[in-house]
Amino acid sequence: MASSDKVGIAACAASRLGINTHLQMTSPAPIYPHRHLLGIEGLSHLDIEALLDRADTYVALSRQVEKKTATLRGRTQINLFFEPSTRTQASFELAGKRLGADVMNMSVASSSVKKGETLIDTAATLNAMRPDILVVRHHAAGAVNLLARKVDCSVVNAGDGAHEHPTQALLDALTIRRNKGRIAGLTVAICGDIVHSRVARSNIILLNALGAKVRLIAPSTLLPPGIERMGVSIFTDMNKGLEGADIVMMLRLQLERMHGAFVPSSKEYFRYFGLDRDKLDRAQPDALVMHPGPMNRGVEISSEVADGAQSLIREQVEMGVAVRMAVLDALAQHLPNG
Amino acid sequence: MALVEPGMAELQDIELQDIEIVNARLVDPATGRDGRGSILIRAGAIADVNWGEAAPSGGEGVRRIDARGLVLAPGLVDLRAFLGEPGAEFRETLSTGSQAAAAGGVTTVVCRPDTDPPIDDPAIIDFIKRRARDKAIVNVLPSAALTKGLRGKEITEFGLLLEAGAVAFGDGARALRNPQVMRRAMIYGRDFDALIMNHVEDPDLRGSGVMNEGEFASRRGLPGIPLEAETIMLERDIRLARATGVRYHAAMISCAESVELVRRAKAEGVRVTCGVSINNLTLNENDVGDYRTFCKVSPPLRHEDERLAMVAALAEGVIDVVVSDHDPQDVETKRQPFAEAADGALGIETLLPAALRMVQAGQIELAPLLAALSTRPAALLGLACGRLATGAPADLMLLDPDAPHVVDKRKLKSRAKNSPFDEARLEGLVQVTFVGGRVVYEAQAS
């Protein structure tokens, strides 16, 4: 592992200096030991760091004019989205194409799922087309795990219900690491609709694995029961929760998932849990602000903060493509003849 | 090991020949007595019970079965099973369901009324009874819907349904939500001494919940079902039962708080009884694991602390009966993402072997366990079975309580295969089941 760590660190340093790290990618990268990426749960901190190191090299590659590699040439990647998504699907598509894969997008609106075909049938049908990698988003927790058991190819979870969204957590970690130089020891405050958030769950697991101190800030109705046993401290007062935070990670208030009165109004929510200049001033002076998008401006975050100097929101999108390239690359090493 | 030497087919030919089962370990859950002895069966009923090593009492022409020390006990009475008919024959039929029952030592099954159409009319009771007579190999007793069409609005014809043969009233897997309808049902039901049952899970508090609320559900990203969904509806029902004086039975409870509610009500003299599903006695929420839909049941599998509270309450006698909550589900309704899969688990064939885990763990003695599986449910329904007594129907089972086996869902007799105990290592197998003095099941020699 020592030599591979050096490769990672070298690549990381090189990319910050803007040096072309393309050649270094051919050196033996640590083997990602799993066939799928279904969640952050089950990954070791070494697995995670190896993916982040690999992603660093892809950040550099994506900033070049020539962005394509032949890593996935001849491979077929299907993006199977049972839930509408613009940015995640685009990010995976771009990542696959930059690696040279043939990428096909299938979304629920144009598929036979609406005609009563079950998830398993869809999986069997797609499996028969012999894809190499399936990228799946589904509205039900566990659906991607279920699907992964029924197909022969590698599966990437692009978000399943309120369970996990591993590539989002990885891109968040990459963004933090590149800006703060480390993750261990940082205080990260995750704020907002935790109960419906797969992003929060994946981030809690990942940040704990890499040694960050994780705080959750939300009204109690938006906190899942028992979450305090996942290695987090809980705050229902945002001002207190933000004190001394290095990273403020805002979550989208999932208005479309509000199956009941979790909060009375977006006005009241913004008053107590929306991130504005005053609340951000409670955090460290060099605190950085993140959001997985899409944002509800004026609900969970003010435009002043979202577009301000401390915001990393645009950079997160860039890191997303690099992280997904790293994940697809890592999984490809397990493909037959890969 | 062929216990019934001539084989089942030949035995059935000789029909109601007198049978003497000797050299058995008799367990009478009605009295708690457990010891060596023999039993004489004549004309479908228990004619004599001989405790000790006394000489056989039978005379000429009596078929003798040597039990070789196996347990001889009353057949089980299962208050809650879904048997498919009418309307869901693809999930289970009276024939397949009763074969599964017989293989599990269950000799009397109360079938759930939430069929299609529901059992809310005397003609459907009659249909079930006639179908059961022709197709079922164990006793099948229909429970009737509490409200017409299971809609929770108007009560059914309690008097006519009782006359037709209904043994209890409830809306099956649906909770009766409207307290005014429940109050009226109880007031009216008391006049008929009807047994009113309810599935105590408040649908509003359950909301979109799909498993027990808590850390495990939160980690899995699944919406939880809080304990209050059960305790609030149970407490409401108990208060109404106290006010009306009706016989009330909470079909299945699943948490320690509910035990306390029942305990208190019983101490106050309220005519309340309650059941527990074998699932909540032997499994916990961690069995859901990686989204195993066969472990999606209602009430949900709870935290291990709650399961232990259920076991303790059973041993103490606060919980009256154990049910299989047998609910065969088609593969298509289970092969789904967890939140979208149907509730329900097979249970009737594995009921006793699973329950014996508690005996093997030293948590309850065999006789009190069997009382909750036979004597007490029989008493709730006013049946004469569930005891080893002269004159009781010869609904019996011969049980090898230590026989180790691995459950194989493909070998279960139900039409569906959704067993949460698939591949479980269990000890205890029924060897022979008698209904009305006839052998209806004999284990295959392994």
Residues A116 and A188 both lie in one domain:
no
Q: For residue B12, is pLDDT > 60?
A: no
User: Is A30 a member of any domain?
Assistant: no
Instruction: Print the domain residue range for B409.
Output: 8-73+392-442
ipTM of the complex: 0.86
Compare all CA atoms of chain B with the CA of A39 and give the residue at the minimum distance. B220
Residues A153 and A191 both lie in one domain:
no
Residues A199 and A142 both lie in one domain:
no
Residues B342 and B197 both lie in one domain:
yes
Residues B191 and B315 both lie in one domain:
yes
The pLDDT confidence band at residue A154, using thresholds 50, 70 and 90, is very high
B109 forms bridges with which residues in the sheet? B78, B140
The pLDDT confidence band at residue B74, using thresholds 50, 70 and 90, is very high
The pLDDT confidence band at residue A113, using thresholds 50, 70 and 90, is low
CA B20 – CA B50 distance, rounded (Å) = 10
CA B82 – CA B80 distance, rounded (Å) = 7
Q: What integer pLDDT is reported at residue B170 of this predicted model?
A: 98
Tell me: the pLDDT tens digits for A207-246?
A: 999 999 999 999 999 999 999 999 999 999 999 999 999 9
Of A142, A164, A229, the CB nearest to B338: A142
User: Is A16 a member of any domain?
Assistant: no
Q: What integer pLDDT is reported at residue A326 of this predicted model?
A: 98
Compare all CA atoms of chain A with the CA of B289 and give the residue at the minimum distance. A142
Question: Which residue type occupies A168?
Answer: Q
CB A226 to CB B218 under 8 A?
yes
Q: What integer pLDDT is reported at residue A123 of this predicted model?
A: 87
Tell me: the pLDDT tens digits for B31-73?
A: 999 999 999 999 999 999 999 876 666 677 889 999 999 999 9
User: Is A18 a member of any domain?
Assistant: no
CA B181 – CA B176 distance, rounded (Å) = 8
Compare all CA atoms of chain B with the CA of A161 and give the residue at the minimum distance. B221
User: Is B1 a member of any domain?
Assistant: no
User: Is A288 a member of any domain?
Assistant: yes
Tell me: the pLDDT tens digits for B384-397?
A: 999 999 999 999 99
Residue B251 DSSP class: S
CA A155 – CA A77 distance, rounded (Å) = 10
Annotated catalytic residue B325:
yes
Neighbour tally for B13: CB within 10 Å = 10
| Residue A314, C-beta contacts closer than 8 angstroms, at least 6 positions apart | none
State the count of interchain CB pairs (< 8 A) between A and B.
75
| Mean per-residue pLDDT of chain A | 89
Residues A112 and A56 both lie in one domain:
yes
Residues A205 and A151 both lie in one domain:
no
CA B348 – CA B351 distance, rounded (Å) = 5
Question: Which residue type occupies A210?
Answer: L
Residues B373 and B401 both lie in one domain:
no
B203 touches chain A (CB under 8 A): no
Mean pLDDT of B250-266: 98
CATH of residue B174's domain is 3.20.20.140
Residues A178 and A107 both lie in one domain:
no
Residues B40 and B122 both lie in one domain:
no
Pairing of strands B45-51, B33-42: antiparallel
CATH of residue B41's domain is 2.30.40.10
Instruction: Print the domain residue range for A237.
Output: 166-254+261-312
Residues of B in contact with A142 (CB under 8 A): 220-222, 290-291, 337-339
User: Is B3 a member of any domain?
Assistant: no
Structural domain count, chain B: 2
User: Is B387 a member of any domain?
Assistant: no
CB B335 to CB A225 under 8 A?
no
Min distance A242 CA to chain B CA atoms (Å): 24
Containing H/E element for B406?
A: strand B396-406
Residues A139 and A43 both lie in one domain:
yes
The pLDDT confidence band at residue A112, using thresholds 50, 70 and 90, is low
Write down which residue in B381, B405, B428 finishes a domain.
B381
CA A25 – CA A45 distance, rounded (Å) = 21
Q: How many residues does chain A have?
A: 338
User: Is B386 a member of any domain?
Assistant: no
Residues A157 and A223 both lie in one domain:
no
A54 touches chain B (CB under 8 A): no
Mean pLDDT of A251-278: 85
Residues A93 and A147 both lie in one domain:
yes
Q: For residue A312, is pLDDT > 50?
A: yes
The pLDDT confidence band at residue A7, using thresholds 50, 70 and 90, is very low
Residues of A in contact with B219 (CB under 8 A): 41, 201, 226, 230
The pLDDT confidence band at residue A121, using thresholds 50, 70 and 90, is confident
Using a pLDDT cut of 70, give the percent of chain B over it: 95
Structural tokens at position A253: 């208030």
Edge to edge, the sheet with strand A133-138 lists A102-107, A76-81, A133-138, A154-160
CATH of residue A268's domain is 3.40.50.1370
The pLDDT confidence band at residue B29, using thresholds 50, 70 and 90, is very high
Structural tokens at position B96: 């397949």
Residues of B in contact with A201 (CB under 8 A): 219, 221
Residues B30 and B91 both lie in one domain:
no
Q: What integer pLDDT is reported at residue B15 of this predicted model?
A: 62
Write down which residue in B336, B359, B381 finishes a domain.
B381
CA A220 – CA A225 distance, rounded (Å) = 9
Task: Report yes or no: B300 and B225 within 8 Å, Cβ to Cβ.
Answer: yes
Residues B81 and B120 both lie in one domain:
yes
Of A142, A164, A226, the CB nearest to B337: A142
Which residue bears the tokens 């009766």?
A: B176
Q: What integer pLDDT is reported at residue A24 of this predicted model?
A: 46
Q: Give the range among A247-261, A315-329, B139-153, B337-351 with minimum mean pLDDT.
A: A247-261
The annotation status of A236 as a binding-site residue, yes or no, is no
Residues B26 and B116 both lie in one domain:
no
Tell me: the pLDDT tens digits for B222-235?
A: 999 999 999 999 99
Residues A208 and A301 both lie in one domain:
yes
CA B33 – CA B48 distance, rounded (Å) = 16
- B278 phi and psi, to 5 degrees? -55, -30
Residues A68 and A198 both lie in one domain:
no
The pLDDT confidence band at residue B1, using thresholds 50, 70 and 90, is very low
Q: For residue A82, is pLDDT > 50?
A: yes
| Residue B236, C-beta contacts closer than 8 angstroms, at least 6 positions apart | B179, B182
User: Is B309 a member of any domain?
Assistant: yes
